[in-house]
Amino acid sequence: MGYKDKAVAMAKRKEYYEQNKEVIKAKAKEQRKANKDNPVFIAKNAARAKVFREKNRESLAAYDKVYRQENKERLAALDKAYREANKERIAARSKAHRQGKAEELRENDRLRRTGFSASLFKKCLEMQDNKCPICLNVFEKTGAKRMCADHCHTEIKPRGVLCSNCNTAIGMFNDSPENLMRAAEYLKNPPLGLL
């Protein structure tokens, strides 16, 4: 026997759930345990949960926000206790994540800090014949000759790829062509000459 009024139906369902909450939870837990390796059951549950989340996105977000505010200290304590109890596991997972995505993380960081996308960085290296355009040294993976994405610090615009030494030197001269020209002139004609 169905109800014509949705509000009445919802009220009845809620009342039934409240009266039988423990039994319903126990049955659901038992069902999940019995079907933990059943791909059809898992897929159906995931699909049902996804539909529910999409349908109730705003109310779930509002509930979540209120819950987090009301339980801020308890959640922080639980989080701290979990991190303390699982230090090695968390560290190993973070390390594996970083190692597995090392190149991607490096590229994202380079894009954010310097404006160099992975393709632009590669193209620039090809244009420069894999050499630093200032000292003409061939790039290496580590050390003073490793690649650095040189960029304008005020506008975050890429300029080129330099070796670590040349990139540091330009930075020491405050990215100023005038300072660099004066330094070059100084090296050509030092005040004390070549005693």
Q: What is the reported pLDDT for 195?
A: 54
Q: What is the reported pLDDT for 22?
A: 92
The per-residue pLDDT string of the chain (195 residues; one tens digit each, 9 = 90 and over) reads 455 677 888 888 889 989 998 999 899 889 888 888 888 888 888 888 889 989 999 999 999 999 999 999 999 999 999 999 999 989 988 887 777 787 788 888 888 888 888 888 889 989 999 999 999 988 877 555 788 888 887 777 888 999 989 999 998 998 889 999 999 999 888 888 765
Q: What is the reported pLDDT for 191?
A: 85
The number of beta carbons lying within 10 Å of the beta carbon of residue 32 is 13
How many alpha carbons fall within 13 Å on the CB side of residue 195? 2
For the chain, list the domains and their CATH numbers: 114-188 (3.40.1800.10)
DSSP-assigned letters across all residues of 41-102: HHHHHHHHHHHHHHHTHHHHHHHHHHHHHHTHHHHHHHHHHHHHHTHHHHHHHHHHHHHHTH
Q: What is the reported pLDDT for 19?
A: 92
Q: What is the reported pLDDT for 2?
A: 55
pTM value is 0.47
Q: What is the reported pLDDT for 133?
A: 93
